[in-house]
Amino acid sequence: MKQNSYVCDNCGKSREKDANHWFVLTAQYAIPGAPTLLKWNQGSAEDPRARHACGQECAFAMLARFMATGTFERVAVKREDPCPSSA
């Protein structure tokens, strides 16, 4: 894959337009099933299981999603009880 032909898996921003401060997220490296946030490196980015984040905000949103759902992908989550802090 061409080095800058990636898009943010959270917001859709293209790496071709902004290659600074990107991250690679995976749940496959250190501890299988545990999320890993890596500073951008081409080898990790090319892994088909890797997800790409254009900056801290998107990386943290994806980590929060992973902790809530077990996946970096956007999924509908049905809550039985509303979050007490939102009341």
Q: Kindly state the tokens that stand for 81.
A: 């009880």
What are the Cα distances from residue 49, in Å, to 30, 83, 87? 14, 31, 37
Residue 82 within any structural domain of the chain: no
Total residues belonging to the chain:
87
Please work out, in degrees rounded to the nearest 5, the angle formed at the alpha carbon of residue 33 by the alpha carbons of 82 and 44. 120
32 belongs to a structural domain: yes
Q: Which domain range does residue 52 map to?
A: 1-70
Both structure tokens of 22 = 């990107």
**pLDDT 10s digits, 18-55:** 778 899 998 876 677 788 899 999 999 999 889 999 99
Residues 66-86 have pLDDT tens digits of: 888 888 887 655 556 555 555
Does any domain span residue 48?
yes
Biggest CA pair distance of the chain: 47
- pTM (whole model) above 0.85: no
